[in-house]
Structure 1
């Protein structure tokens, strides 16, 4: 089983959107049994809170439920439990490296790099544009799934 953790600042918008988009893609492609997908926050600000209502509504508009998801904290010990950590922006990448102490095994990536882009997933907490965030995350997750297939990991 290949284990992926999506990471953003608070784990109430972008990373849970990525978690549930990727779970849907895995299910649609018969890969649910080959992938373990989760998400976490680099901050402690939203711990225990559910997915932010506009993010939940955006997922629902695409037929995706995130029922039961609550923000959790990324921990140093997670590094040894997952194969891949996918941040939504450059600040998430810096914070993951800080939490883990380093990325000695090269497990940390920014989501849109899988889609051949160097930009960050727009943060809808500030922009209010949950549709744009969904579009970016969906593009990145589709490209990530293709990379996993190409690399023979699923």
Structure 2
């Protein structure tokens, strides 16, 4: 089983979108049983008293616009709650994908480095460099969708070529 963790600051927009885009990709490829996919946050901004916030409504709307999170293709979107990444995640996942440089820095701090080279930036799996802009601040969920979708498709292609 291939285990993937997507990570961003709060786990309500970018990493959550990536989680469900990737679940949709592997589901449509008939390989959902070969993957375990989650997402998490580097900060507790969206976690209070042990309870995480749900998927941010505009992020959920963008997923729904692309057929994810609908009655026909729920994939767990309605149950998703933000969670904090922890040190043991490093041992439990094969690929740990951050959305931006700050996420990468925070993950290295939380995990104590990256001795097994498991940490990547989302756009490492595209033809573009840079960060996935945070739509919490930009309001541009179309750009985030494009970056996340291209990154997830690129990641899936890389994994399939490797195995």
The TM-score with structure 1 as length reference comes to 0.97
State the SS of the aligned residue for 1:117: coil
**CA offset digits 1:5-50 (Å, max 9, x no partner):** 0000000000000000000000011110111000000000102100
* Structure 1 residue aligned with 2:87: 76
* Structure 2 residue aligned with 1:60: 64
CA–CA distance in structure 2, aligned partners of residues 11 and 25 of structure 1: 20
Residue-pair matches, total = 152
CA–CA distance in structure 2, aligned partners of residues 117 and 75 of structure 1: 29
* Structure 2 residue aligned with 1:112: 123
Residues 12-31 of structure 1 correspond to what in structure 2 (within 5 A)?
A: 12-31=12-31
Report deviation, 1:98: 0.4
Residues 64-143 of structure 1 correspond to what in structure 2 (within 5 A)?
A: 64-65=68-69, 66-143=77-154
CA–CA distance in structure 1, aligned partners of residues 84 and 29 of structure 2: 29
Unaligned runs of 5+ in 2: 70-76
- Off by >3 Å, runs of 4+ in structure 1: none
**CA offset digits 1:48-78 (Å, max 9, x no partner):** 1001110011101111011110000000011
Unaligned runs of 5+ in 1: none
CA–CA distance in structure 2, aligned partners of residues 13 and 26 of structure 1: 20
* Structure 1 residue aligned with 2:72: none
* Structure 2 residue aligned with 1:37: 37
* Structure 2 residue aligned with 1:5: 5
Cα RMSD (Å):
0.6
